[in-house]
Amino acid sequence: MKPLKKISIVGYGAGDAANNLAFTTATMFLLVYYTDVAGISAAAAGTLLLVVRIFDAFADVFAGRMVDKTYSKRWGKFRPFIMIGSLPLLLLTFAVFHVPGGWSANATLIYAYLSYAALGLAYSLVNIPYGSLAGAMTQDPTERAKLGSARTIGAFLIGAVLGMVVAPMLKNDTDLQPIFTTLTVVFLVAGFALYMFCAFTAKEQVQRDVAQVSLKQSIATLKGNVPLLMLCISSLVLLAGSMTLSTVQLYYFRDVMGNVGLYAAASGIQLLLALVLSALMPRLVRRIGKRTVYMAFGGVMMLGGLVVLLAPAGAGMLAVVGVSIVNLGLSGVSIVIWALEADTVEYGEWKTGIRTEGIVYALFSFTRKAGQALGGALAAYALAWGGYNGAAAVQSDQAILGIQIAAGAIPLVMSGLAVLVISRYKLTDAVHASIVYDIRERRAAAVAAKVAPANEDCPA
């Protein structure tokens, strides 16, 4: 298979940058928006995040089935969803950050539930085909690592912009609604351009024997796919840990360390680390394999969580170091995890003869969404346990402790569990290479079997 063109790799990364204009904006700032702008209590907001993100997880499965049974001769299986679904997704991002003022508490909460649930469904219908696309672009481990690097750069670039430009504006004494209005309008225009760039440059290359997959065939590819199950479990707990930190990071720097400007410093360091890792990751994957890379960087994330937990209030630079170590670990895992997921597609095809990127990625995304739901809810509940008050200029010691637990202790424990699970993962790079070889041999044998009878029928 030919190496991917650079424009295809860049285009694929642009797709995740567009995704994160919606996704990362919500994960970083939606809890702050709900508690400090919409006036929703931390406990109610935590329940909202948990319920809607669980709904999102099921929406992923629906989207996966839609992808598996769809095929366009001109555009393939995945790109039509990106072309059609991107604009509604970006419009709903605007709606989520515009809860009407002057409504009753119940009406406000209903609007928040409905708008965020609609955003989640729209995101699934774009993100599932986007994520599935990588496995159809190449089967080469190094090329897949490049795609993982590209999407990680795209995601962290948006995260850095949000952290360095937007987060420092979100001070306690500032009217936040105009900031979110400007942000979501700009992101609507930029996001649509990025999605279109991705759709026209990132193309499928991997041969498939069945274009439209039935529900029975989709389910069959999931049965017995133990590597996918283990990757899903590991990803669930890892995402739960990283989401707690992401959700409370603004609170951590603003209310615990007393300097919201540190958020920008941490975001800049995160972007720099992601760029360096993205350049090094294909070489690391070739040398030690994806599973070992995952475990090593999961251990780095554990170390960072410990530093964040133990950093005393006001120790801003130590807090930046701790958060940066967590982000270093998360960056390394994030790059290889997408390549690992794509490998499980070949495992399912090897077992059943049916290639189903959509449902495999949907199940993987389902568990990731469940982890994000758990992490977001744990973060909000930690704030509620501590008695966080969005209207207070200074938080109580109990509230500070709640933020520190969410920012440090939970990522420490969850990343440790993720490493423990992935240590039992058997689909190594060598095993995957053997599986890909077997699939190609089967396909060649099937073609030869069809040609042989035809040759026998030909007159001498």
In which residue ranges of the chain is pLDDT below 70?
A: 1, 72, 172-173, 207-219, 221, 447, 450-460
The count of structural domains within the chain is 1
- Residues 144, 63: Cα–Cα separation, whole Å: 23
Q: Spell out the residues 6+ positions from residue 380 whose beta carbon is closer than 8 angstroms to its own.
A: 31, 42, 43, 45, 46, 47, 49, 247
Which pLDDT belongs to residue 370? 84
Q: Does a structural domain hold residue 459? A: no
The rounded Cα 176 to chain-centroid distance in angstroms is 26
Which pLDDT belongs to residue 301? 95
CB 373 within 8 A of CB 57: yes
Q: Does a structural domain hold residue 23? A: yes
Which pLDDT belongs to residue 459? 57
Q: Does a structural domain hold residue 460? A: no
Which pLDDT belongs to residue 455? 58
CA angle at 41 for the pair 37 and 45, rounded to the nearest 5°: 90
Q: Does a structural domain hold residue 458? A: no
Q: Does a structural domain hold residue 169? A: yes
Its domain, for residue 402, covers 6-203+210-453
The partner residues of 72 in beta bridges, in order of sequence, read: 76
Which pLDDT belongs to residue 453? 61
- Residues 360, 372: Cα–Cα separation, whole Å: 18
- Residues 34, 28: Cα–Cα separation, whole Å: 12
Q: Does a structural domain hold residue 1? A: no
Among 279, 410, 390, residue whose Cα is nearest residue 335: 279
CB 65 within 8 A of CB 359: yes
Which CATH number is 295's domain given? 1.20.1250.20
Among 354, 65, 438, residue whose Cα is nearest residue 215: 65
Q: Does a structural domain hold residue 105? A: yes
Q: Does a structural domain hold residue 153? A: yes
Sign of the Cα torsion 378, 381, 387, 390 reads positive
CB 142 within 8 A of CB 282: yes
Which pLDDT belongs to residue 411? 94
